[in-house]
Amino acid sequence: MKDFKDLRIVDNFYQTSAFFPMPTVLVGTVSENGQTNLGAYSLCFPYYVAGKDYYAMLLECRNSSNTAQNILRNKKVSLNFITDDRKYFKEAVRLGFPGDSTEEKMKNCLFTLQDSTIEKGRPQIVSAAFQVFECTWDDSLEDAYLNKAGNLEGYEPPYRNFNGITSRFGAHFILKVDKILMKPKYYDAIINGVKQNNFPSVPVDYGYRDSTNFWYTKFTKPIPEKIQAKEGDVNSVKYAASRIDPDVKFTDEACARLTKIPRIFLKAALTQMVEIAKQEGITLIDEKALEIINDKRRSEKKK
């Protein structure tokens, strides 16, 4: 392979042996004295995204960190996504430095905090964030509730595979998303249609760091690329539609308008349409009924 060189894989390979684009997230937890602790993390990604009875994020961190110890203690978390303001990233780097107590790191914190929208006792949220996920650690998975706070010098086995204490110094937390909060500008964009000029200014952490610097890049306008959707055969749509519910039928014209739905999503989309049709007292879905159903689907998305 003359075009590539084999780079040795070592601990923290995403930082030491790679350039890996990641988010910048301020993770809020509640310390023993009830004060909100903010820690900066990039190893925070979607985990359960469909097909479960809840949605979830995955957070990876040192198990001796304030963040990990607080999650083990009370399970409540806020994930605060900040914009690419240079002073915000500088503060995020400071908040990510290990070893400081909550009192020390939060004493002169740049960020203004406000109370949770769910209940008292949860971590506060960052007012400057463009979006916030309020979450709860699901400690039932892998019996992770058996892991307890207090071991700051490293945990002994047995270790979990994906949730709780996963190694002597590591932890993974599957965080149930209880609520997603969004600043009005970006809420309106998602509901009414995202365009090039209404994306939030999201920083990208490059992953790689050395002994001196973290590296990130400021936001530039995203470039749209049209989805090259493959139109399905109208006969395939008609066949699928005929098998959803015997009491609700689709006309050929309505099926022809649904050929751009990817095959993998077709059954779910048709099932939702039939459910709405039955709510509206519609037994024949023609083009006019399809407009009513699509309006209903859009209004439910706004809710």
Per the model's pLDDT, the better-predicted residue between 282 and 211 turns out to be 282
Instruction: Give me 93's structure tokens.
Output: 């780097």
Q: Write the pLDDT tens digit of every residue in 19-71.
A: 899 999 999 999 999 999 999 999 999 999 988 999 999 999 999 999 999 99
Task: Report which DSSP code applies to 286.
Answer: -
Q: Write the pLDDT tens digit of every residue in 116-128.
A: 999 999 999 999 9
* Beta-strand relationship, 170-182 and 131-137: antiparallel
Q: Write the pLDDT tens digit of every residue in 247-302.
A: 999 999 999 999 888 888 889 899 999 999 999 999 999 999 999 998 887 777 65
| Helix, strand, coil percent content, the chain, rounded in steps of 5 | 30, 25, 45
pTM of the model: 0.81
Helix axes 263-279 and 234-242, enclosed angle (nearest 10): 50
Instruction: Give me 114's structure tokens.
Output: 């406000």
